Amino acid sequence: MSMETYLNFSQDNLWGELWPELSLCLGALLVLGFDLFSKSSNAKKRAGSLAIFFQFILLAAHLFDYLLLRHTFDRESFSGMLKHGIHQDVMRSFFLLSSLLVSLLGHRYLETRKLRVGEFHHLTMIATAGLMLLCQTQHFLVFFVALETVALCFYPLVAFDRESPKSLEAGIKYLIFGALSSALLLFGIVLLYGVGSNPEAWGTTLSTVPSSDAFSFSFLYQLLSENPNHLLLRAGVVLIISGIAFKVGAAPFQIWVPDVYHGAPMPITAFLAVSSKSAGFFVLINLVNGPFAGMSEFLLPLLGFVATFTIFFGNLAACSQRNLKRMLGLSGVAHAGYLLVAVMASMLLPGESDRAVWILFFYLFTYLLASFAVFGVMGLARVTDDSEHEFSDYENLAQKKPWAAFVLVVGIGSLAGIPPFAGFIGKLLLFSVAFETKLFLSIVAMVIGVVISIYYYFGWIREICFHPRPVFEDDEAKHDPWKDVGSVGMLKPALFSLVLASIVLGLWQGPIGDAF
Amino acid sequence: MTSDALLLLGSILVPAIGSVLFFSGFAKDEGSLKKLGYLVFGFPCLAAVILFFRFDGSAGYNFEVLYDRMGLQELGITFHLGLNGVSSPLFAMAGIVGLGAGLAALHSGAERMHLYLALLALMQAGLMGLFASVDIFFYYLFHEFALIPTFIMIGLWGGRDRRSIALEITIYLTLGALISLGGLVALNILVDAPKFDFPSISAALDQSSLTDSAAFKIYGLLLLGFGILVALFPFHTWAARGYDTAPTSVSMLHAGVLKKFGLYGIIQIASPLLPEAALAWSPWLMWLALGNILLVGMVAVAQTNFKSMISYGSVMHMGYCFLGIGVCSVLGVGSTVMLMCAHGLSVSLMFLLANFVRKRSNTLEMQEIGGLGEKTPLLACFCIAATLATIGLPGFGNFWGEFGIFLSLGESHEHLIFLVLAALGIILSAVFGLRAIAQIFFGQESEELRKHAKESPIADLSRAEIIPASLILVALLFIGLWPASISDRINDEISNRYSHLQLKNTLSKPSCCPVDEDVKSIETPYSTSD
């Protein structure tokens, strides 16, 4: 290698582009250090406030940076291993917002349950930095490293409540399934790399020899579009997509979802539901429109089957759940199915898959607003065991805590996709883009899925709003989880702003609507 | 914005803001609650009646309000309000029934009155907006605004089995709403009009090349979706159970006004925009409509509960509306609009009166009442009038609607069979209606009633009860005695919108010979020369 190559490398390594990730990692270390060196337990609590404050400033700075200061053109760095642009920036602020909300929920959660503060926020922030990096990769090595960073943070987070056997069990389950999905993914990547690094030996053809190596997306795009029928390449692609399907909880790799959601601490359940899933979808939509674009004819029926199966499995399985965390997990599986339809639509929109990406963003954003509202209120309940949220715990909430009931009902309504909440607009856009791309069977599946979902979502609303069964004198005195909720501090305005955003976005999309 | 347009906007905004005020507990004591209630429900009614008389009678939209920047640009959604010949009478009907339901609610003494009135006002805002929307998306959105309070109110204040029925109708109606939404989205995308409102889509359709099979499928989707929402036979099972258990004001607004959403959608959107598909579907639709009239009619005859009977009766009369739509002629569709108005008034009056009966007799089982007329002559008068209106006697609006539909059925040989069978339905509705009147108000006073009367003496209608009932009855008589007031504008609008369909209709079936080939042979030279 000549000096010139090194020069090019050094000029190309634009660390400045990664400032949000770097400062987030720095902040994570600060939080950890603060927690380590502060003596009293009271001071340790302040590590949480520090984490929230830091992430808030970072989110504001990042929004300011790319919305107001910088042009939003696409650019590459690190020899084409990373790509930065408006999509990536939107996703980065999405993850920052989600992580901020997780820290907010976690702040109160850790306090009431006397759990360690510093590690929680530290791991959350590192995981978020990993997710932010993940959505910018153009190279399977960086991709895998970022993904593993995220996964390694999630394993301890899921098992964070070490006193609770459910949480530990969920941690083990997540570890095993996560390892399996990483193995599938890695195997897929290796297959593509193996064929790509010596194309002739495997009977593939390449018209021009590209400059980049066989891990990079641009190389794989060329390889796959010239050899869409090659068996090993197909196997590699299917394995990679299976690995991602694990992360987003799409059938037939959804089996871990209810168990892990069930056991994980509430803020982490929300984190898994929103950030982890969104990252998976962003990566998937980039892969199928980027390196895997040449194989879309092969992938479409496959994804179509997966989407339909996911929608039906998620909704039908959620109907029979009495535990709300499991139900939300399975309804999240159903949402993954709807989002897969957006991914399919993006493959069918020639040259303007951009629109499908924006629709995916909008849907994910409405999902974030609704999910955090719901999980936020659920985190308030002082149920004896955090894993066991039953329908009956929410009986008559509307009279016990009207504001919490209001937030919860709006959140559920938005998840169910009823107007005038933002979730409805998300579903409407999804329907319209699916119709445009003639995915009629998927639309039918979505409509049936939404109607089934009304059953369990409204079942919950019914518990919250409508009169409970009469109380008899010989009834056992039941623990009321809403009796001593105590002060909620910052959480209340945060939850209300989520709800407000859900309603406003449902009625008026304004400038966001123009993006489509 | 003209003052009329302001009135139109106000008739939606006043109940919407009122709903927020009720919800926030703005009016503390009973008196101010009532005053606010009069304002919130009175203003839309007043505005609707004023706009009804100020309508200039030409085809097209009056009093338009348009905000371009609201809504999704991508789908061409704008906030666009206005009234045309079809929506103007329905808008007035929604205002009047809304006031009646509001007054009934104010005097109902329900628990948690604030919430009850807040939800009812929200429903009223949705209903006014539904008929005032030109934009199809907002038309759908306003429908949901009215629908969601229905579920909650049934769940909270409903009668027997309210929780399971609330869930059942939620699922059923969401299915209907989603299917019709699917149809509307399909229409929007396939036509690719610049805006998602009635005139733009119809203008774009004239130029676009929507294939017959696509049109057929979209019309089928819309018919299925709207059909579920209107309780078309075999999708009618939710309706009677729902109305039966719902509190009076909700039954009035839902059966009277909200259920017209689907019919309105078919008349304003589906049939004029997709005329070939409308003709292709019409035999299916008409046979199903006969199911409503005859089968549901017989179910209504079998009811022993007064309110159930009214509920099934209202589902049965939807059959006539579907028959009128199925005829696909100006007369048929116009009479359907007429019947929709009159039916909305008459059925809500019936629900209102049923509640008055229940208050006095403490039951709605007809066999347990009897002889009530001696004690409450005024209530008996109202009830007889409302029943006669429902049956379709001259003098009330329903007569003109049903009469027009029968006339339109008689215009074509193919429809004679429907005419004969539908006429049987009139007998059915006379049987159950008059029998109910006879049992409740005439004959021997029953043992239960006598016992109940001893505990709480039975009084005739109070002033608070007379006002909403007579308000609706006057409106019914107004239409019945001066049908031209609404038929002219309906006729102008429908003949304008349906000119397309009328042409196709007469072209395709002048006699029983296979005309299709003739039409093709006329058309082929044009298509080949292109």
Residue B243 clears pLDDT 80, i.e. is over it: yes
Nearest to A459 among B73, B152, B167 (CB): B167
CB within 8 Å: B182 and A510? no
pLDDT bucket at B523, cuts 50 / 70 / 90? very low
- Determine whether the interchain pair B171/A436 forms a contact, defined as Cβ–Cβ distance below 8 Å: no
pLDDT given at position B426:
87
Rounded distance, CA A248 to CA A254, Å?
Answer: 8
Output Rg (C-alpha) for chain A, integer angstroms. Answer: 23
Across chain B, what does the average pLDDT equal?
81
Best mutation target among B172, B185, B238 (most A Cβ atoms within 10 Å) is B185
Q: Which of B141, B179, B188 minimises the CB distance to A420?
A: B141
- Nearest alpha carbon to residue A443 among A296, A307, A302, A278: A307
CB contact under 8 A, A466 and B181: no
pLDDT digits (tens, 9 = 90+) for A184-210: 999 999 998 888 887 777 777 777 776
B166/chain A closest Cα distance in angstroms: 9
Cβ separation of B185 and A428 shorter than 8 Å?
A: yes
Neighbours of A496 (CB within 10 A): 15
* E strand or H helix at A329: helix A324-348
* Residue B58 pLDDT level (bands cut at 50, 70, 90): low
Task: Say if the Cβ atoms of B72 and A429 lie within 8 Å.
Answer: yes
From chain A, pick out residues whose CB is under 8 angstroms from the CB of B175.
447, 451
CB A265 within 8 A of CB A258: no
Q: What's the confidence (pLDDT) of residue A478?
A: 65
What are the DSSP calls for A65-105, one per residue? Answer: IIIIIS----EEETTTTEEESHHHHHHHHHHHHHHHHHHHH
Does pLDDT of B504 surpass 70?
A: no
- Which range in A9-18, A237-246, B142-151, B243-252 is most confidently predicted, on average pLDDT? A237-246
Chain A CB contacts of B151 under 8 Å are: 458
Q: What is the pLDDT of residue B519?
A: 39
The pLDDT score that the predictor gives to residue B509 is 42
Every domain of chain A and the residues it spans: 12-136, 137-469+480-514
Q: If interface means Cβ-Cβ distance under 8 Å, which residues of chain B face chain A?
A: 69-75, 140-141, 144-145, 148, 151-152, 155-156, 162-163, 166-167, 170-171, 174-175, 178-179, 181-182, 185-186, 188-189
Nearest chain A Cα distance for residue B70, angstroms? 6
pLDDT digits (tens, 9 = 90+) for B414-465: 788 888 888 888 888 889 888 888 888 887 777 777 777 777 777 777 888 8
Is the CB of residue A465 less than 8 Å away from at least one CB of chain B?
A: yes
DSSP of B198-253, one letter per residue?
HHHHHHHHHHS---HHHHHHHHHHHHHHHHHHHT-TTS-HHHHHHHHHS-HHHHHH
- Give the model's pLDDT for residue B513: 38
User: How distant is the Cα of B494 from the closest Cα of chain A, in angstroms?
Assistant: 30
- Chain B: give the shortest CA distance to residue A182, in Å: 39
pLDDT in tens, B161-172: 787 888 888 888
Which residue from A337, A368, A290 is spatially nearest to A448, judged by alpha carbons?
A: A337
Q: Is the Cβ of A145 closer than 8 Å to some Cβ of chain B?
A: no
Reported confidence tier of residue B209, pLDDT bands at 50, 70, 90: low
- Minimal C-alpha gap between A418 and chain B (Å): 8
Q: How far is A406 from chain B (nearest CA, A)?
A: 12
Q: What is the mean pLDDT of residues B408-412?
A: 84
How far does the CA of residue B20 sit from the closest CA of chain A (Å)? 14
Of A451, A466, A467, the CB nearest to B175: A451
Facing residue for A458 by CB, picked from B73, B170, B179 = B170
A396 to chain B: nearest residue by CA? B156
| Chain-chain contact of B155 with A462 (C-beta, under 8 angstroms) | yes
- What per-residue confidence (pLDDT) applies to B268? 85
- Is A458 within 8 Å of chain B by CB? yes
Contacts of B156 in chain A (CB under 8 A): 465-467
How far is B387 from chain A, CA to nearest CA, in Å?
35
Q: Is A352 on the interface with B (CB under 8 A)?
A: no
Contact B69 A510 (CB under 8 A): yes
Residues of B in contact with A436 (CB under 8 A): 189
CA–CA separation, A43 and B472 (whole Å)? 70
Dist. CA A345–CA A347, nearest whole Å:
5
pLDDT of the residue at B503: 53
The CA–CA distances, whole Å, from B518 to A182, A339, B216 equal 68, 50, 22
φ/ψ of B464, rounded to 5, equals: -65, -25
Interface probe, candidates A412, A509, A512, chain B, greatest B C-beta count within 10 A: A509
Residue B331 has phi, psi (to 5 degrees) of -65, -45
Q: What residues of chain A score a pLDDT lower than 50?
A: none
B72, B178, B189 member nearest A513 (Cβ): B72
Letter for the amino acid at A486? G
Q: Closest Cα of chain A to B172: distance in Å?
A: 8
Burial B41-71 (b: 16+ CB within 10 A, else e): bbbbbebbbbbbeebeeeeebbbbbbeeebb
- Count contacts between A and B (CB, < 8 Å): 80
Tally of domains in chain B:
1
Domain that holds residue B383: 3-529
Residues of chain A neighbouring B72 (CB-CB closer than 8 A): 425, 428-429, 509, 513, 516
Which residues of chain A have a CB within 8 Å of the CB of B75?
428-429, 432
Q: Do B179 and A447 touch (CB under 8 A)?
A: yes
Answer yes or no: are the C-beta atoms of A158 and A149 closer than 8 Å.
no
What DSSP state is assigned to residue B266? Answer: I
Looking at the complex, report in whole angstroms how far the Cα of residue A22 sits from the nearest Cα belonging to chain B: 37
B185 vs A431: CB contact, 8 Å cut-off? yes
A25 closest CA partner among A140, A161, A153, A171:
A153
Q: How far apart are the first and last CA of chain A?
A: 46
Q: In the predicted model, is pLDDT for residue B528 greater than 60?
A: no
